[in-house]
Structure 1
């Protein structure tokens, strides 16, 4: 929870014409959308802009594609401004996982190298690290970071795994499953001191953090603009600094392969790049309608309130202390502990997500860590306190029933 707990419901944000904020999106009103953090949601103005761009592409493809690199270069300047980065360091990729794949494919680690990750890492990114380690005949070392670890404890847990054989450190800026920060600034500085390359997975950072790159020491950083930035999917940035960046190439070879980084990423055959071109529209929409500072403050207050309401409701059937205090909390996201019997691992968590959507009409995120199940709350400006109150009143009793049924089945002889 945040230092100042929100005990009253934040007032919903409105559009300039007084309508509810959700009217600017095309989200299905028959569903409750409580999981912005997984795939984001694109405002109508950006959808419409992308549709116009696609129509332009289809009207004259032979004109469109040769001119595309120049347009993408201009777009990179706009997106770099939002991230407060240098456009000359920023390449566009479909998502953060694609950014990590670009890095993994570029690195040529010494034989028997070790790659350090954490037990909070995104599964697909960790699997990519394991594949890279196998290429060098090495292995992945996993730093165990307790959920309630503070900055010092998290830093010590990761750096304790560094050694002479370490060829790469992969660390999340904001963890997906556990909705916490990791001290990437301090970890990166120590790795740099030892001459170890650092890849920061900042998938959730753009839009959620005001300055996601501030103070960070890294060789590679990748973050999604289609999550809190609400850009069309998939739009992400891969930022690289230092000599290793010239090894980076897009996953699709093109006639720009001989160009320097990041220009070579602006030309990739017949890839539909309209999501990239429409991304600044989403960012500008939020800024001009509410301002990003106001939006972030609202999202943080809202999930704080939602965690209290849902946590209190879950405490009745489970008897557990449902709201979870993580060691380094992140704005705009919270964890709520689920009753035993629910989401004990990733497979069960995904199954619960699908069942809740299918039977209860709610899009929600459920995760697991160290054998415990959690509901991960993640909000955007279109959410309201009523969304979380509905889940607490209508859905939590059902979750309690499912949990009892699950534990009953497991305890049966």
Structure 2
């Protein structure tokens, strides 16, 4: 990253009464919060709405649960409008991985039992695909998509793995570890032409993308509303179109099992569904306060600024590696997310990256995301409206030097024996 290409720091967003945006969240001010993309953050107004709903549930559970399916159906209408989906196509599930599990449980082998994924796939969803392939007596084929691949190269890499034995394609819309878009619309059209079902993992897409379903041809799409849309955790959408959706059933059978899709997902016994009902409050809060278009523009500008500030600090470290601090060459980059290369020795694999995440939180009091791709470690920045330029400047000033020391120590450490982790 060139230090001469200065990205201006965007003016922090404020609440209507002039307070910083972060005052609308309950995040611990003693911690830095630079990793909205992993688990999201719920504004206080949505927390309060969920608490009120839980209190209502506990006051009269025998009244609450029989009436719950109708209330969930009403929430689906609001959430479908936000996503640009038809309410009759959308079911609510706890998270994107649960949605993938619903799909995997519904499908049967029709050809050779092969499932095509990419090497950018989310681990839990890919593991589910591997389990399904074993059940089918088939196998998973992994398309390698270079980090810097543009739309055409990424599309060709996936399509090259399709064949007569392919029974399912699973592709991320926004990749979790590598913060890039994949051309799911083009892949979807080709999969439909070949008669192959497509599951689009759009876990990060709701609110990060203005219209995540526009132009996307797929049989199934899953997206977490508790990430960028800031809904209470445990809120995700499963959108299903076409005849295969009639096979979909919730992971818990309840008295609504005989209902058509998606109504049968609205009744799940004693599951606490208050997150579903409170989700519109979070979405409406951002829209009323700043507007989602303004919020997305701010997040994108802030991610640019943060990547430059932190990248420049990494680049100034002595003996950190020639590419330390470089903004990753990501084909089809994602708004609001950036990858900055770590010094050599850090984040060499997923376990190493996860350990780094935990150590930084514990010792440096910053919640940050560290990822690995092709043996290279990255800091993944994901900005939201409550973040400010000062958050990234603090990380550059206080955390980057320590990470440099840890990297030097990691490079001096002897390699772990074969078959053993460090």
Is the Cα contact below 8 Å between 2:225 and 2:231 reproduced in 1?
A: yes
Matched, 1:250 2:250: yes
Is the Cα contact below 8 Å between 1:111 and 1:137 reproduced in 2?
A: no
Matched, 1:387 2:388: no
Is the Cα contact below 8 Å between 1:230 and 1:282 reproduced in 2?
A: yes
1:410 is displaced (CA, Å) by 3.3
Distance 1:311 1:115 in 2: 38
- Match of 2:296, SS state, is helix
Distance 2:45 2:313 in 1: 37
Taking structure 1 as reference, are residues 254 and 390 closer, same or farther at Cα in structure 2, changes over 3 Å only?
same
Distance 1:50 1:13 in 2: 25
Taking structure 1 as reference, are residues 6 and 102 closer, same or farther at Cα in structure 2, changes over 3 Å only?
farther
TM value normalised by structure 1: 0.98
Distance 2:110 2:183 in 1: 27
Matched, 1:353 2:357: yes
Distance 1:115 1:103 in 2: 13
Aligned residue in 2 for 1:44: 44
Is the Cα contact below 8 Å between 1:145 and 1:154 reproduced in 2?
A: yes
1:411 is displaced (CA, Å) by 6.8
Is the Cα contact below 8 Å between 1:337 and 1:373 reproduced in 2?
A: yes
- Figure out how many residues of one structure are paired with residues of the other and give that number: 410
Distance 2:236 2:387 in 1: 24
1:331 is displaced (CA, Å) by 0.2
1:325 is displaced (CA, Å) by 2.1
RMSD of aligned alpha carbons: 1.3
Matched, 1:239 2:239: yes
- Match of 2:285, SS state, is helix
Matched, 1:114 2:118: no
Distance 2:416 2:344 in 1: 15
Distance 1:277 1:109 in 2: 36
The unaligned stretches of length 5 or more in structure 2 are: 418-422
State how 1:73-112 maps to structure 2 within 5 Å.
Answer: 73-110=73-110, 112=112
Bigger mean CA deviation after superposition, 151-160 or 315-324: 315-324
The unaligned stretches of length 5 or more in structure 1 are: none
Is the Cα contact below 8 Å between 1:110 and 1:136 reproduced in 2?
A: no
Distance 1:405 1:95 in 2: 38
1:7 is displaced (CA, Å) by 1.2
Is the Cα contact below 8 Å between 1:6 and 1:301 reproduced in 2?
A: no
- Match of 1:410, SS state, is coil
Is the Cα contact below 8 Å between 1:314 and 1:396 reproduced in 2?
A: yes
TM value normalised by structure 2: 0.96
1:111 is displaced (CA, Å) by 6.2
State how 1:304-343 maps to structure 2 within 5 Å.
Answer: 304-317=304-317, 318=320, 319-320=322-323, 322-343=326-347
State how 1:211-226 maps to structure 2 within 5 Å.
Answer: 211-226=211-226
- Match of 1:287, SS state, is helix
Structure 1 stretches (4+) deviating beyond 2 angstroms?
410-413
Distance 1:86 1:326 in 2: 32
Is the Cα contact below 8 Å between 1:197 and 1:219 reproduced in 2?
A: yes
Is the Cα contact below 8 Å between 2:112 and 2:166 reproduced in 1?
A: no
Give the alignment partner of residue 402 of structure 1, picking from 406, 414, 417.
Answer: 406
Is the Cα contact below 8 Å between 2:111 and 2:164 reproduced in 1?
A: no
Is the Cα contact below 8 Å between 1:54 and 1:274 reproduced in 2?
A: yes
